[in-house]
Amino acid sequence: MRLAVISDVHGNLPALERTFDFIEKAKIDGIIWCGDYITDILLSPEVLEFIKLKNKKYKHWIIKGNREDYIIDFHNSASKDFSSIDVTGSLLLTYNSLSKDDIKYISSLPDEVVVDIKGCPQIYVRHKLNSNSRYKYHVFGHIHKQGLFVKNDCKFINPGSVGQCCSGTPGLEFALMELVDGEWNTHFYHMNYNLEYVIKFIRNSDLSGCKYHWDDVLIKTLSTGHNYVEDYINFAKDVAKKCNVDVKTLGDIPAKIWDYVYNKLDIVEKS
């Protein structure tokens, strides 16, 4: 029994396709999907269509992540607070690209699922870490870094991010779980994909029209394998706090603070 474990695609269809170039030769028996398939790179409808196509072929267990929740909450809210000109621009652009069927599909996904295969230990799947999991195996995503640790006899497994790897080296990451002598063994994979194509796509997409260098920060993250997105946001929040700016949303942070952080982090200007 072999299961592919995939998380955090973030709209990166070329990386997902490259992942399946490997997976479909690995003779897997099913796929565990750990959430955050959409937003950031503006290919979310295509990613969802790809996922649905593969799930017709393979047995699967799929949950939603916080990015799906952002879009669902926005869709259901009377107050639309995403702006195409602030740092949440990719969320609005993603929302506008999704069909009613796409929204219905991601809304149908559960927050958690248990992989329960006869004769195999159960696997608990949730997008964010639940360190108090009572299951022997707990698979999660969200942090974009591969890893495995043990706590209270539970193995916690993060396959890394297919679409926005932040483990220190550019590329894509996923995992395979293989049943050996009644236990799940985890094999981690890191692979290259056509990153140059993705960068060009971002440059030519509507994301490049968002304020505050959001396309540059995303490209810097993809190009280095370091989470500049997180650094950028946290640094801006810290500076805003020191400047006594009341920050309820990222849009409350003034442009001059984003520019200051952008320069301090040495994020390369667009050519």
| 197 within some domain | no
Task: Give residue 224's pLDDT.
Answer: 96
Do 179 and 217 lie in a common domain?
no
| 199 within some domain | no
Do 155 and 238 lie in a common domain?
no
Query: What CATH number is associated with residue 75?
Result: 3.60.21.10
Among 129, 161, 191, where does a domain finish?
191
Task: Give residue 201's pLDDT.
Answer: 97
| 205 within some domain | no
Among 141, 160, 191, where does a domain finish?
191
Do 183 and 217 lie in a common domain?
no
Task: Give residue 269's pLDDT.
Answer: 52
Among 140, 161, 191, where does a domain finish?
191
DSSP secondary structure letters along 201-269: HHHHSGGGGSSTTHHHHHHHHHHHTS-HHHHHHHHHHHHHHHTT---SSGGGS-HHHHHHHHHHTTPPP
pLDDT, tens digit, for every residue of 46-84?
999 999 999 999 999 999 999 999 999 989 988 777 665
Whether the Cβ atoms of residue 108 and residue 93 lie closer than 8 Å to each other: no
Do 186 and 226 lie in a common domain?
no
Owning domain of residue 63: 2-191
Do 103 and 219 lie in a common domain?
no
Do 65 and 118 lie in a common domain?
yes
Do 174 and 72 lie in a common domain?
yes
| 56 within some domain | yes
Q: What is the mean pLDDT of residues 113-135?
A: 94
| 198 within some domain | no
| 119 within some domain | yes
Number of H helices, E strands in the chain: 9, 10
pLDDT-based confidence at residue 88 (cuts at 50, 70, 90): low
Q: How far is CA 147 from CA 18, 67, 73, 78, in A?
A: 21, 21, 30, 39
Domain count, the chain: 2
